[in-house]
């Protein structure tokens, strides 16, 4: 139902000449015909597979309705920022961030089924905009190793568990040697573990965006960031930490 609502929003958002491919996707999806449809949505290129997570709901939420708008000014102010996109899904946040600041560099991490669409969306973007976007199929956490990833049925969302059907690689941001200016984390309850693996990266980060699920986790993440010189507040159902300037 959420995707169907999103598709109708996309018809209103996109240009008239872009409607046929969107209509084709809706037709094939309705009649359970496996197909990959490459869409243009007001110029944004996006692939949608009828048999796999399309990310269209997230495209609608992030690109059209700009759910990350509280950091728009941060994105525009920072010069050529490196952005870590942890829990990228099909890439809606990366696409939005690059539309706001085309000089940014984005590295998207996604361990789940959505990675196939993410990789295609990255390639479609790079064909016309250059190599500003990198994608990696792994999970970020507080330690290197491997973990069990569970995909929610009929959904592009998933999360790490102590046991499960899919074993995936886990890395830390610090082990990867990354020094981001913006760190976005949306990993279905694993946010604090990602922060624990980012202690060095947090010395260069200016903005941290967290989609925390549950009051206890929000309080833990807030405390963790506060001790590392971030002022944290809740905006538009997400936690945003901004570095406090040194005295």
**Per-residue pLDDT at 101:** 98
**Residues ≥6 apart with Cβ < 8 Å to 196:** 142, 224
Establish how many alpha carbons lie within 13 A of residue 92's alpha carbon, considering only the half-sphere containing its beta carbon.
22
Helix, strand, or coil (residue 227): coil
Residue that is written with structure tokens 């064909």 in the block: 127
**Per-residue pLDDT at 247:** 55
Q: Is residue 41 part of a domain?
A: no
**Per-residue pLDDT at 154:** 47
Query: How do the pLDDT tens digits run along the chain, 247 residues long?
Result: 688 889 999 999 999 999 999 999 999 999 999 999 999 999 999 999 998 889 999 999 999 999 999 999 999 999 999 999 999 999 999 999 999 999 999 999 999 889 999 999 999 999 999 999 999 999 999 999 887 666 555 445 555 555 556 678 899 999 999 999 999 999 988 899 999 999 999 999 999 999 888 899 999 999 999 999 999 999 888 999 999 987 5
Q: Is residue 42 part of a domain?
A: no
Q: Is residue 38 part of a domain?
A: no
Joined together, the tokens standing for residue 25 give 């996707």
Domain count, the chain: 1
H or E segment and range at residue 8:
helix 2-13
Q: Is residue 44 part of a domain?
A: no
Q: Is residue 6 part of a domain?
A: no
Range of the domain at 87: 67-243
Residue that is written with structure tokens 């598709």 in the block: 7
**Residues ≥6 apart with Cβ < 8 Å to 232:** 221, 222, 225, 226, 239, 240, 241
**Per-residue pLDDT at 213:** 80
Q: Is residue 31 part of a domain?
A: no
Residue 169: CB atoms within 10 A of its CB come to: 14
Looking up residue 162, the CATH number of its domain turns out to be 3.40.50.150
DSSP state of 18: G
Q: Is residue 23 part of a domain?
A: no
Establish how many alpha carbons lie within 13 A of residue 79's alpha carbon, considering only the half-sphere containing its beta carbon.
0
Answer yes or no: pTM beyond 0.85: yes
Residue that is written with structure tokens 């980012």 in the block: 198
Q: Is residue 1 part of a domain?
A: no
């Amino acid at each position: 139902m959420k995707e169907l609502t999103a598709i109708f929003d996309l018809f209103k958002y996109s240009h008239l000449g872009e409607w046929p491919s969107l209509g084709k996707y809706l037709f094939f999806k309705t009649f359970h015909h496996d197909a990959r449809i490459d869409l243009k949505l007001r110029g944004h290129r996006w692939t949608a597979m009828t048999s796999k997570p399309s990310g269209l709901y997230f495209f609608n939420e992030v690109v059209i309705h700009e759910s990350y708008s509280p950091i728009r000014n941060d994105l525009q102010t920072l010069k050529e920022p490196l952005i870590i996109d942890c829990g990228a899904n099909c890439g809606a946040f990366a696409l939005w961030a690059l539309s706001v600041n085309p000089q940014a560099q984005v590295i998207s991490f996604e361990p789940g089924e959505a990675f196939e669409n993410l990789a295609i969306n990255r390639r479609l973007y790079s064909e016309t905009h250059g190599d500003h976007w990198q994608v990696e199929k792994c999970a970020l956490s507080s330690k290197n190793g491997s973990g069990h990833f569970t995909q929610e049925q009929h959904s592009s969302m998933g999360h790490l568990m102590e046991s499960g059907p899919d074993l995936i690689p886990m890395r830390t941001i610090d082990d990867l040697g990354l020094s981001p200016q913006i760190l976005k984390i949306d990993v279905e309850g694993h946010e604090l573990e990602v922060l624990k693996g980012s202690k060095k990266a947090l010395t260069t980060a200016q903005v941290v965006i967290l989609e925390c699920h549950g009051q206890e986790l929000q309080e833990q993440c807030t405390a963790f960031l506060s001790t590392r010189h971030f002022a944290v507040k809740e905006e538009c159902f997400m936690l945003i930490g901004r570095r406090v300037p040194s005295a």
